[in-house]
Structure 1
Amino acid sequence: MGGISSCCVPRQGYADDNESGRAASTPRKRGRHGRTLSATFNLSLVDEASRSLSLVNVNTANEEELMTLPGINRSIAKSIIEYRNHIGGFRCAEDIALVSGVGAEKLTSIRSDIYVVPPATDHSCRDNLAATSEHISESSTDDGLVICVNTSNIFSLLRVKGIGMTLAKNIVTYRDTHGKFHSLDELLKVKGIGPGNLEVIRPYLSLRDTAQNGKASGIHHSNGSVTRTSSCDNYSNNAKRAISASMEELLQILGPLAKVPTRPKVNFVSLKHKNRNVFRLASWNLKKFTLEKANNPGVREAVCMTILENGFGIVCVQELADVDALKVICDELNSPTLPNGKKWGGRRGEWAYEVSKPTGRMFQGTEYHGFLYDKSQKISLQSSCVIAKAPNKKRLFSRMPFVGIFSIDGGFDCLIVSVHLKAAGLKGEDQQRTEKEAQTLNDILEAVKDTFTSERDIIFLGDFNLSPDSSAFDGFRSDGYVPCIPPTTFTNISNNNPQGSMNYDNIWVSRQTQRVSTGVSGVVRDGLSNAWIPNGWSWGGTVSDHCPVFTQLYSKMDLDKEEINVADVRFLLGGTDGV
């Protein structure tokens, strides 16, 4: 057929992974690929920073620290300290309203910027928190933590001692309205910042990130002083370890965010159907899945628990924004550290992963595909490769598909093509390009059939950005393919629209694969949010705007007469046969 030629390199243990340039379950040490995006979802840092570095403990704060709060001048700060000494310490934040000059109205304006550790708090818990706070405070000082006011979001600004939620919001709002700050003195125009608290926070702020190669450098302020700086988004490893070690103690004090997120009630998934072994194949677009997002405990727990609760055996992931992000999920599945994962009583599995080479660009960063699979279900990945553009040929996909050849339970083998087609745009301006990419999938199908003449279990899945009833899939349908998720079932999700409104994610199976299907397929919609995931200005956000979709197949029923031969096979889009 002449459009694509194929050639894939087989996996021969972990040694080949190091040479191939792909990340796998035991990847070689490497640097970052692409740019880490600004979706700051690291709750372990936000929680700690909010309490230890940003919010003011009114039972220990001095006058200068209290004066960083909106509307608190030196006179009121003195009154707070005098009243605190008189009553032996505040029992709750609301007690501050009784201080002369504060009252209910002023308490409301500073409530989100303060917290109270009651004098009667258990000593061991309090000591641990104090030790962690001191450790992190010292680490920040040693690392020369400096935040860029022109690029940092609210959660990054919260890491500055003296900036609470109210000031962080005001800074970002002012910047969005008036543009970037040209001097730090311009912060005086921000509501809630006066000369006193500006001097407190000035050493930790800069107008630009001047860190080079991760090393500290100097930045000159308008007053002529020099402050040592490091990357705007860098915490020392010691600080991270301190946060992790004291997470349980910190969560006891953090109020609503400290509650262990609830999971939907589920029945354990049996890997049997009509007394025969089965496995579940899933696809999930995790939306700009950076390493930072993966390290958010809410994201990590929601992803891992969704996989375990639904009995997935293979999960094909789209929109990986960091080559190391999938390893975080794999590690959490194998060695759970979060509450719900630790107490999970169902099958845990033995997980491995594979991350593709770069497949394209997204949001000014690099995008990857990934495969996550459970070796305890006797699932193995024999080979994988990104479909490449032939030399001197036009690129026909915004993100090139990722191909994996799997063997399941020693019986069923299949070839899986993970895709992420171009989005049609908010107003459908790129609809024709999306449909063109969908039609090009037929060329890939024909090339696979030409290469593996005896293999007909060829599965296309992922984020198609098109409804399955689109005419762009007529070629698939004429070849006997059917979508596992019908057009009337939606696959997107958000806090504002939990039931969804679009069908973009799907699994297309061939006529032969339909014969090994159990007839069980679906969209997972429950359990995709978590109290530890940011949602705008609040919490309880969703992992992604895509739901995972899955189908269930018999694992020992293979209608092909021969096994897939993966020797020396790769795919070139736009090439000629025999390359």
Structure 2
Amino acid sequence: MPSLVSAQEEMALVSWNIRDFGKTKSAEEIEQIGNILKEYDVIALQEVVAGYGGSQAVARLADYLNRTGSKWDYSISAPTKSPKYKTEKYAFLWKTSRLKIIEKARLITDLEECVYREPYQVKFESKKGSKGSFTLLNYHSRKHSEQPEIEMSCISDYMKNHKDENIILAGDFNLTIDHSVFDKLKNDSYKACLNGDKTTLKRLCKDGNYLNHAIDNIIYNATKNELIDCDTIDFVQECDQLESMRMLSDHLPVYMRFKFVMN
């Protein structure tokens, strides 16, 4: 039998390195962030502050989202097992009308010896149309100067060793997608959502340009998912807004709309 795309509605995933998400975020900034994210079904956040204020900021965001017309739930990781000053938390937020958790979110401890911040994993099942499921990995790599390709190689092996699952990897890789470390995934039916789109913000706008590095992305298995749309969410828009918008984050969110492929 040939593969058929499920009749279910498309799913909308957004991933965002939200930079030091914690008590310093004002109510106005939480509202701005919520308005950027509210149209999506599931959110993967990186750089939630590990100390006091990080979990509270996620709860504040969920509270705001719950006042925008849909019911949301959320899950926050324990602090990553990281070198000093590199520890963070991750968070997932999702619309309960669209998704339910079928495997509880957890940090992947199998990878803690290989990565600075072990990915945060959860398994969701769709609640509408023909049922489908996916395992979402939320990941923030070490800095570009610290050889993040070492981490990406380990994560690629983990994904290949769990190829029976519909794994989607979302996050900040601190690598461009044309780096050779991604070849082992590309050769195993995985594709990148973005292809060279810049996702980080410069400190200053020059000649109308405020975008910098192409390092945030979503990687999905093309035999299990049909890509509908993918892009960054440019919440800056104009140079004169760069300074104020950098208070939200120095990264743009990346979104992917997709459908499950049913065999």
When normalised by structure 1's length, the TM-score is 0.40
Cα gap change, 1:475/1:495 in structure 2, threshold over 3 Å: closer, same or farther? same
Conserved 8 A contact 2:125-2:134:
yes
Partner of 2:42: 314
Conserved 8 A contact 2:201-2:246:
no
Where is the helix percentage greater, Structure 1 or Structure 2?
1
What is the CA-CA distance between 1:354 and the residue it aligns to?
0.4
Conserved 8 A contact 1:495-1:542:
no
Q: Does 1:486 align with 2:216?
A: no
Conserved 8 A contact 1:284-1:316:
yes
What is the CA-CA distance between 1:558 and the residue it aligns to?
4.6
Q: What per-residue deviation string (whole Å, max 9, x for no partner) do you get for residues 519-554 of structure 1?
A: x1100012589x9x995xxx5644111110011012
TM alignment of 1:378-397, pairs within 5 A: 378-382=98-102, 383-389=104-110, 395-397=113-115
Q: What per-residue deviation string (whole Å, max 9, x for no partner) do you get for residues 220-276 of structure 1?
A: xxxxxxxxxxxxxxxxxxxxxxxxxxxxxxxxxxxxxxxxxxxxxxxxxxxxxxx96
SS at match of 2:34: helix
Cα gap change, 1:512/1:421 in structure 2, threshold over 3 Å: closer, same or farther? same
What is the CA-CA distance between 1:517 and the residue it aligns to?
2.2
SS at match of 1:496: strand
- Please give the alpha-carbon distance, in whole angstroms, between the structure 2 residues aligned to 1:414 and 1:540: 32
Query: 397, 418, 431: which is aligned to 2:138?
Result: 418
Query: 503, 507, 512: which is aligned to 2:214?
Result: 503
- Please give the alpha-carbon distance, in whole angstroms, between the structure 2 residues aligned to 1:517 and 1:500: 25
- Please give the alpha-carbon distance, in whole angstroms, between the structure 2 residues aligned to 1:462 and 1:374: 20
- Please give the alpha-carbon distance, in whole angstroms, between the structure 2 residues aligned to 1:304 and 1:528: 17
- Please give the alpha-carbon distance, in whole angstroms, between the structure 2 residues aligned to 1:480 and 1:544: 32
Q: What per-residue deviation string (whole Å, max 9, x for no partner) do you get for residues 425-471 of structure 1?
A: xxx3x2xx21111111122113323xxx4x3x211110100000001
Report the number of matched residues. Answer: 247
- Please give the alpha-carbon distance, in whole angstroms, between the structure 2 residues aligned to 1:534 and 1:362: 32
Partner of 1:303: 33
SS at match of 1:422: coil
Conserved 8 A contact 1:493-1:500:
yes
Query: 147, 150, 157: which is aligned to 1:443?
Result: 157
Q: Work out which of the two has the higher radius of gyration on C-alpha atoms and give 1 or 2.
A: 1
Q: What per-residue deviation string (whole Å, max 9, x for no partner) do you get for residues 73-102 of structure 1?
A: xxxxxxxxxxxxxxxxxxxxxxxxxxxxxx
Partner of 1:176: none
- Please give the alpha-carbon distance, in whole angstroms, between the structure 1 residues aligned to 2:210 and 2:223: 32
Cα gap change, 1:327/1:472 in structure 2, threshold over 3 Å: closer, same or farther? same
| Unaligned stretches of 5+ residues in structure 2 | 1-6
Conserved 8 A contact 2:125-2:133:
yes
Partner of 1:234: none
Cα gap change, 1:363/1:505 in structure 2, threshold over 3 Å: closer, same or farther? farther
Query: 223, 232, 246: which is aligned to 1:523?
Result: 232
Q: Does 1:278 align with 2:6?
A: no
Q: Does 1:559 align with 2:226?
A: no
Query: 233, 251, 254: which is aligned to 1:546?
Result: 251
| Unaligned stretches of 5+ residues in structure 1 | 1-274, 337-347, 561-579
What is the CA-CA distance between 1:353 and the residue it aligns to?
0.4
Conserved 8 A contact 2:44-2:91:
yes
Matched letter for residue 162 of structure 2: V
SS at match of 1:324: helix
Conserved 8 A contact 1:283-1:462:
yes
Cα gap change, 1:367/1:418 in structure 2, threshold over 3 Å: closer, same or farther? same
SS at match of 2:43: strand
Same amino acid, percent of matched pairs: 22
TM alignment of 1:154-553, pairs within 5 A: 277-290=9-22, 292-294=23-25, 296-308=26-38, 311-321=39-49, 322-335=54-67, 348-361=69-82, 364=85, 366-376=87-97, 378-382=98-102, 383-389=104-110, 395-410=113-128, 411-424=131-144, 428=145, 430=146, 433-449=147-163, 453=164, 455=165, 457-487=166-196, 489-494=197-202, 496-497=204-205, 499-514=210-225, 516-518=226-228, 520-526=229-235, 535=243, 541-553=246-258
- Please give the alpha-carbon distance, in whole angstroms, between the structure 2 residues aligned to 1:330 and 1:349: 10
Give the superposed CA RMSD. Answer: 2.7
What is the CA-CA distance between 1:472 and the residue it aligns to?
1.2
SS at match of 2:88: strand
What is the CA-CA distance between 1:495 and the residue it aligns to?
5.4
- Please give the alpha-carbon distance, in whole angstroms, between the structure 2 residues aligned to 1:330 and 1:448: 31
Conserved 8 A contact 1:306-1:527:
no
What is the CA-CA distance between 1:277 and the residue it aligns to?
1.4
- Please give the alpha-carbon distance, in whole angstroms, between the structure 2 residues aligned to 1:476 and 1:417: 14
What is the CA-CA distance between 1:418 and the residue it aligns to?
1.0
Q: What per-residue deviation string (whole Å, max 9, x for no partner) do you get for residues 467-510 of structure 1?
A: 000011111111121111111x1011245246412111000111
Conserved 8 A contact 1:286-1:543:
yes
